[in-house]
Structure 1
Amino acid sequence: MSKALDILYKVLDFQSGSLLTASEKPTSALKRDDWIEKGEWLDDDGLSISNPGSFVEGVTLANLLVTEPRPRNPLLADIVKRIGLAERTGRGIDRIFEGLLRYGRPAPDYGRSDATSVVVQMSNTGSDLGFLETVLREEERTGRSMPLDSLIILSRLRQERRLIITDLTHSTQKTEQATRVTIETLVEAGLVDAHGSGRGRTYTLSAKLYRKAGQKAGYIRQAGFDAIQQEQMVLRYIGENGSIKRAEVAELCRLSMPQAYHLLKRLKDSGKIQQHGVKRHAFYTQKS
């Protein structure tokens, strides 16, 4: 037990660490085995904690967030929960993720785990208090804690700027349908902006979040990319095929029919293409 407490104190001393993250990881390891071979170290990348032995059977990196709790020693796990060192729900990993992500810090990394040990690394990246304020305001608005899936999606978008739904399902470890429900909820809340439609629909952080972070130009670069790319795609299609119809624009750029109409109108108004025919018989060519 002294080894467990030693690691607990070191985690608590970890720069920018949160109490939630610090208190959960040692007890998770405590329920796995004895502490003789445990290891922890600080380096330029952050704090790492290792525990001998692989993940419990049935637990992998691909289902770490969604699999049912599987303690290696059920009796010891129950004792630890009864004395208040861990939750009876057995969702300690969720709490580690939440404790980092809500402060705008990178998710914990279990990627160095292998058949001989489980290793978790927590980055020493500083907290983003502006992001935390956004999370707290949203929690105040909804009257509940922000779900882990939402925190994961916002974190990915903060790091990688623009993603499609399949990028995000890998991180949430949920089905595409479940992930889509979560991200569309974030769109409705004004935290995420959606661009395009269908399977080509992409997502970025909203203009509101970019403004709060003092990165107005960053949002314009992300949102403006779609329009420029779509115009180039339409002009290239016309150059190769001679003409294009609205339905073809919608399919090419993965847009709704009204969005395709506005794209064609924008190109026509700028003098880049010309219209022939009307309504459903209309087609467009490059302006000569």
Structure 2
Amino acid sequence: MSQAKFAPHLPTSESLTVEFKSDRKRLHDDELVEALACMANSDGGELWLGVEDDGTPTGLHADHQNLIGLPGLVASRTSPSLTVAVQAAEIAGIRVACIRVSKSASEVATTSGKYLRRRIKQDGTPECVAMLPHERSSRASRFGLSDVSAQAVAGATLVDFDPLERERLRQTVQRYGGDRVLLELDDEALDGALGFTTRNDAGERVPTLTGLLVIGRETALRDLVPTHELAFQVLGSEAVRFNEFRRFPLLKAMDWLETNFRPYNPEHELQIDLFRVPVPKVDMGAFREAVANALVHRDYHRLGAVHVRLNDDGLTISNPGGLVEGVTLNNLLITEPRPRNPSLADAMKRIGLVERSGRGVDKIYRGMLRFGRPEPDYSRTDGNSVVLQLATVDADELFLRLVVEQEGRQSGELPIDSLIALSALREHKRLDAEELAGHIQRDPAQAKRTLEKLLEAGLVDAHGATRNRSYTLSVDMYRAKGDKLAYTRQVGFTHIQHPEMVLNYVRQHGRIQRSEVMELCHLDGNQAGKLLSRLYAEGRLVMHGQKKGAYYTLAV
């Protein structure tokens, strides 16, 4: 496509997705193709031909005035062939070209055999560098094109499996309710069922990365999987209280971490009806799921430890490797599971250490929100690492009591969307469906259904109707919290007081329109119109104008 339908706008500087190329001496075709392949292997973007590095347009060379053949040139010199969109542009009277390329799901090479990627240097400017073999493998894993955890580990043999870790695996299956079929299998069948081994070219069984990570000897992991490491740190305001790094196999690592974390995770019990509910500093189910996710979904092509760090601000869990392709901070709660290491993820699910449905994020959210704590914070996540922060503030025990009582009434856990809605209303006091949609990462229609179900359960109250309908926690929930005045402040005044609210507004501001009545009294358009019509009929207001332009003033 030589003349794409887009209106290019010259950026002010180069970035990861913007490249300037001078064409005064005619940019060589190989250099142009390499730059576009480089961008395709990163995040895609725009290449501006005829623009200097400082953003000054200097124009196209005479050989590039005709842009029709440029897409074909790029396609013929890349493998797989790149499709680009080209558009000529006039910048300050100078003709340049904007070439757009999308991020490629597969690795793109030039036909001369070069694999390149784009990165930002320390000075903030971009550059193209060679993609090293491990970077190509890492990229393929991120896009779900390969599974390194299912591949054989070079140099590993069956002797590298630890019999003690096999026994730990069976005990873990029993403790966490894993797939009990695994308990009936002998060692060879177990290895096959969990993807611990594969066959080499000679037909011999050899360990996979999954096998070594789960039941491998520590010495084998240290020598053969140098990227695997787990760090636990407890940092006080004045001293480092705990700081150790381990290369244990995963099940042993989880046991070691939990044993060392418990002394720093005090809990007490709350009596709710006939039950005593533990109230820990950090919910252990959420903790276990978050750590297991970090170990399972980390990028094993990259050096760097999975860090579990507890300090005065909360608990932080981070792992090398950003989110996999298709998963973003805006769809964490709703996207289909996309494990970076599918074989390892499946093994850990069957063992019982991670959520078998693949919705581990829900479990982490539930472990925070159920106690009236802030939702998990992933905001520090970037392309290089996933960073999860869990606040360790005191639990809201009254909120926990209300949640537990409701779960008792319905004989099951509250749906995660409902729990998020209650938590958001607790924090923001009043929400409409569109505002809640952002919290549950769903469309407003689904958010409205969630709120209406909570309304039916008596957990929230609705105010207004149709388009302007908003919601607060119910009066019963505020009463249980001993804060009835807060409910009154959020709900506002009853319909009996609406006329006086409107008249007071007009006294203060001189006039009022229907839209202002809707906002003032939390009414929909029809209700606001009827209220104004009644005040007009009673002779208390005077109407000026017609239809949308109508406004009202006080009657003299």
Instruction: Give TM-score, length-normalised by structure 2.
Output: 0.45
Is the deviation greater in 31-40 or in 126-135?
A: 31-40
Q: Distance in 2 between matches of 1:54 and 1:257?
A: 50
- SS of residue matched to 1:50: strand
- Aligned-pair CA distance for 1:223: 1.0
1:80 aligns with 2:348: yes
Aligned AA (2:524)? L
For 2:502, give the aligned amino acid. E
Report the Cα distance in structure 2 between the residues aligned to 1:194 and 1:173, rounded to whole angstroms: 21
**Native 8 Å contact 1:8 1:26 kept in 2:** no
Distance 1:248 1:50 in 2: 48
1:44-63 matches, within 5 Å, as 44-63=312-331
Q: What CA RMSD, in Å, does the superposition of the two structures yield over aligned residues?
A: 3.4
| Runs of at least 5 residues in structure 1 that lack an aligned partner in the other structure | 277-282
Deviation, structure 1 residue 225: 6.5
Equivalent position of 2:233 in the other structure: none
> Which deviates the most, 133-142 or 102-111?
133-142
- CA 1:32/1:284 → structure 2, altered by over 3 Å: closer, same or farther? closer
1:162: which partner in 2?
430
Match of 1:273 among 540, 549, 554: 540
TM-score, normalised relative to structure 1: 0.82
Q: Which has the higher helix share?
A: 1
Q: Distance in 1 between matches of 2:393 and 2:527?
A: 44
Deviation, structure 1 residue 263: 7.4
Where does residue 279 of structure 1 map in the other structure?
Answer: none
For 1:224-243, what aligned pairs fall within 5 Å after superposition? 224=492, 231=502, 235=506, 239-240=510-511
Alpha-carbon separation, structure 1, partners of 2:368 and 2:289:
12
Q: Which of 178, 183, 201 is equivalent to 2:469? A: 201
1:23-62 equivalent positions in 2, closer than 5 A: 23-33=288-298, 36-62=304-330
Give the corresponding residue for 2:410: 142
CA contact (8 A) 2:308 2:317 kept: yes
Residue 117 of structure 1 corresponds to 385
Residues 304, 320 of structure 2: 8 Å contact kept? no
User: Matches of 1:71 and 1:223 in 2, distance apart?
Assistant: 45
Is the Cα–Cα contact under 8 Å of residues 250 and 257 in structure 1 kept in the other structure? no
CA apart distance, 1:107: 0.9
Which of the two has greater strand per residue? 2
Q: Which residue does 2:443 correspond to in 1? A: 175
Q: Which has the higher contact order (CA 8 A, sep 6+)?
A: 1
Determine what percentage of the aligned residue pairs are the same residue. Answer: 42
Check if 1:14 corresponds to 2:279: no
CA distance in 2, matches of 1:112, 1:56: 16
- Tell me if structure 1 keeps the 8 A contact 2:461–2:472: yes
TM-superposition CA deviations, 1:166-207 (whole Å, max 9, x none): 211011011111110000111121111121223322221111
Equivalent residue letter for 1:255: D
Contact 1:200 1:254 in 2 (8 A): yes
CA distance in 2, matches of 1:181, 1:148: 13
- C-alpha distance in 1, partners of 2:380/2:519? 42
Q: Deviation per CA, 1:206-245, whole angstroms, max 9, x where unpaired?
A: 111111111111111111169679626973799447xx78
1:128 deviates by 1.9
Contact in 1 for aligned 2:433/2:448 (Cα 8 Å): yes
Shift of 1:284: 7.2
Q: Secondary structure at the match of 1:31?
A: helix
Please identify, of 197-206 and 250-259, the stretch whose mean Cα deviation from structure 2 is larger.
250-259
**Cα distance in 2 for residues equivalent to 1:248 and 1:162:** 18
Distance 2:253 2:492 in 1: 54
State the shift of 1:249 in Å.
5.8
- In the alignment, the residues of structure 2 paired with residue 230 and residue 169 of structure 1 have an alpha-carbon distance, to the nearest angstrom, of 31
Out of 23-32 and 2-11, give the one that drifted further. Answer: 2-11
Q: Distance in 1 between matches of 2:284 and 2:431?
A: 31
Give structure 2 stretches of 5+ with no counterpart.
Answer: 1-249, 267-280, 544-550
Provide the C-alpha distance between the structure 1 equivalents of 2:363 and 2:380, rounded to a whole number of angstroms. 20
Larger Rg belongs to = 2
Amino acid in the other structure paired with 1:200: N
Aligned-partner Cα distance in 1 for 2:552–2:324: 61
Q: Quick check: 125-134 or 145-154, which moved more? A: 125-134
Distance 1:24 1:81 in 2: 11
| 1:108 to 2:108 alignment | no
Query: 1: distance between equivalents of 2:493 and 2:481?
Result: 20
In structure 2, do the counterparts of structure 1 residues 139 and 251 end up closer, same or farther at CA, with 3 Å as the change threshold?
closer
Q: Following the alignment from structure 2 to structure 1, what is the Cα–Cα distance between the partners of residues 308 and 368?
A: 18
Looking at structure 2, the residues matched to 10 and 93 of structure 1 have their Cα atoms a distance apart, in angstroms, of 24
In 2, Cα distance between equivalents of 1:80 and 1:119: 21
